[in-house]
Every structure is written in C-alpha cells, then in structure tokens.
Amino acid sequence: MNQRQLFLQHVAQTSDAPLALEIVGAKGVFLYDVHGKEYIDLISGISVCNIGHSNQQVIDAIKLQVDSYMHLMVYGELIESPQVNYATNITSHLPASLNSVYFTSSGTEATEGAMKLAKRVTGRTNMLAFKDSYHGSTQGALSVMGSEYWRNAFRPLLPGIIHADYNHDDVFKLLDEDIACVILEPIQAEKGVNLPSKEWIKKLRAICSEKGILLIFDEIQTGFGRTGKLFAFEHYDIVPDIILLGKALGGGMPLGAFIANRELMKAFTLDPVLGHITTFGGHPVCCAAGNAAFEFLLQNNLIETVHIRQQQFRDVLVHPLIKAFRAAGLLMTIEFESWDTNKKIIDACLERGVFTDWFLFAPHCLRLAPPLIISEGEVKKACEIILSACDEVFKK
C-alpha cells in the first residue's frame, strides 16, 4: 500500500473527501508536496504558523530544551523554566489584571478550563455563548459552540447554555445574575470573519461587570498579531476577565492556555485541591518553542506589516465573482455566491499552487490567513493565482 492508501486505512478521517495532499516539507510561507510541487500557504494551519514554517529560532529553542529535559512530572509541582519564562513574557504584554497563566495542550482544553473556572468563581452554572461561534470539539466546548448542526448529534451536552445573536443588542436582556460567564470570539473567525461593533463589545463588558458575569474572550484564532494587534481585545479598549489562547501560542507545537487574574485562578487550589490538572499542559518543549515564536513576532515587528499586506490583498482581489472582502488584519475572506463556486475556486487555487480552504460556518467564504511573514511579492503571486482561478471558474 502507498502512503495515501495507508492514510485512508489507518488514520481516522473527519470527512469523506479528504484532500490527501502529501506534504513532505514546509518553509516560510511555502508547503512542498511529495512531487516537489510548491504551495503558498494561505491557511497557516488555521492561524498556527503566524511566523511561518520551520522558523530557525523556534527550531533552535526546541533543540536546546530537548537536550535539557522533555517531560518531567504533572503540571504545577515543579518549577520548569520554559513555563515560567513564557508565562512571565506573555503576561508582561497583557493588562495587569491578566497575570496568571494556566497552560493546556490545546485550544479546546483552554475553553474547558475557563468554563470550569467561571463556575467555580461565581458559584453559578448558566453560560451565555453566541450563534456561529467555535470554541473547540470536546463536550464542554461543544456545548457553547454556536451551531445546532454540530451540537445536536452529541447530546446530551451541558445544561444551562444560552445561545444569543452575535453583535446584536438582544443579548443584553438575557444577561442576569444566574450567568457565570459570557464566552465569545472577539472576531468570529469561522463565520467568515464576522466583525462586531466596538460599542457592542463595550456594552457587553459593562453589563458583565455590573452583573458579576465573567467575560471570556476566545483569542485562540485571533491572537498573536493575526488581526493587526497582539490580541484582538485591544481593538475594543476593554479588558476581558479571561482570555483563551492556543494555535500560534505554541509556535507550531501543541499548546493552549487560559489567562486570568491570580485571585480568580486560586479557585483551582482549594475545595477541591487540584481542581483542574493536566499531564501534558505546558509541556516544556512546547513552551520553549512558543516563547521563541513570540519573541520572533515581537522582535521583527511583524504586527506592523499586517495592515500593509491586508491592503495589498484588498486592492488586488477584485473580480465579478467576488461579492465581498472582509478582514481583521491577516484574518481575511473573500465571499462568493455559493459553496459550489468557492469549492471550485479552492480546487483551482490548489492546482495552481495556492493552499486555502473555507470556513466552518461560512462555506461560501474563502479563507485567506497567510503566515504574517508573507512578503509583498508572495502576496502578489497568491493574488494572481486566486484571480486566475476566479477567471477559470467564471468562464465555465
């Protein structure tokens, strides 16, 4: 059997039509398949590889850590410098109230931990989430996911979850003193880059404070410069009570985190002690990699170029098939009339050497989320390919 057959035979599948592209290398913004074909990556592992693939500083940090130690012992007991250094570094770039980091192994675990923390701190059990939001696939995170289609097959899920319309004032009437937390993405990524108004976010913040509800921002996809700020909450001049991180946090290695105030986090230390524990969360090699990636992002001022590159995409991607262009930094989309058109364009892009896809709750929208290191020339090339794919589909 060849690799493709073995992949289909032994690696569990999540759809009945996997791309099954065999990638053997990745460097910068490029992926290379087994036939030597080059693809410009406009997905970045869904906003993981913000500083590009195979970054030398990250590789060196991983090697250095591997030579010292890998896994030692369950989270929380030992002082492991990669965790300490990364937590100190990240919190130094956050508002003073967000000063305690709980590391996990994935984004969905960050969601789970934060939901538990909100229950524990407030003594309440109801939670409010939004339609068309994605917070992970485990059962707590699935309970707050904003799509009945994906939730329903896995019931029963958590009780007491309310789903409101995103960026809509109706939510304010639903906020009462039985609610432990409101969880939301500061920009709804999988809805095809759905941008809320600043006023709406500010009002949400104010009412949560008034009613003692914890405001949780899921920055798993929007973090680390993706939207043109280090974290997307900075666009709104507010500070959430808890932020969720994942994806780019690990610099390409599996790492998640929820960050809150030290006083809140204390709730996990008592009654019960060990209220939330993890074997691999904050793995030293992942923290070393993440910290190196974070340093690279900051040292190279990558966030400053995000707006310039977005403008380039925005200016060039004009075509009769393109109905809209929406973006927050380099989290961008072009919208087509239907999933059918989008799929044809995705396939035509792939054939021509651009790797992209669609969004979970917006199948008619094409994902444009390149590594933030993408150069002017690479954007130009990617756009030429997308437009030529549009031309081909338009002619048919």
Which residues bind to ligand PMP, rule: CB under 6 A? 46, 106-108, 111, 134-136, 185, 189, 218, 220-221, 246, 256
For residues 185 and 335, which CB has a smaller minimum distance to ligand PMP in the complex? Answer: 185
Beta sheet of 100-104, edge-to-edge order: 100-104, 256-260, 242-245, 214-218, 179-184, 126-130, 161-164
For residues 171 and 187, which CB has a smaller minimum distance to ligand PMP in the complex? Answer: 187
Q: Minimum distance from CB of 105 to ligand PMP (Å)?
A: 8
Q: Minimum distance from CB of 321 to ligand PMP (Å)?
A: 27
Q: Which long-range contacts (CB under 8 A, 24 or more apart) does 144-153 make?
A: 144/111, 144/115, 144/183, 146/361, 147/360, 147/361
For residues 353 and 363, which CB has a smaller minimum distance to ligand PMP in the complex? Answer: 363
Q: Minimum distance from CB of 99 to ligand PMP (Å)?
A: 22
For residues 83 and 221, which CB has a smaller minimum distance to ligand PMP in the complex? Answer: 221
- Of how many residues is the chain composed? 396
First to last CA, the chain: 37
Question: Which residue's entry shows tokens 């390919």?
Answer: 385
For residues 187 and 349, which CB has a smaller minimum distance to ligand PMP in the complex? Answer: 187
Q: Minimum distance from CB of 55 to ligand PMP (Å)?
A: 20
For residues 58 and 189, which CB has a smaller minimum distance to ligand PMP in the complex? Answer: 189
Q: Minimum distance from CB of 118 to ligand PMP (Å)?
A: 16
For residues 113 and 136, which CB has a smaller minimum distance to ligand PMP in the complex? Answer: 136
Q: Minimum distance from CB of 236 to ligand PMP (Å)?
A: 17
Q: Determine whether 377 is exposed, middle or buried from the number of CB atoms within 10 Å of its CB (0-12, 13-18, 19+).
A: exposed
Joined together, the tokens standing for residue 199 give 């006023």
Distances, alpha carbon 344 to alpha carbons 43, 175, 338, 367, 392, in Å: 17, 43, 10, 14, 9
Q: Minimum distance from CB of 374 to ligand PMP (Å)?
A: 20
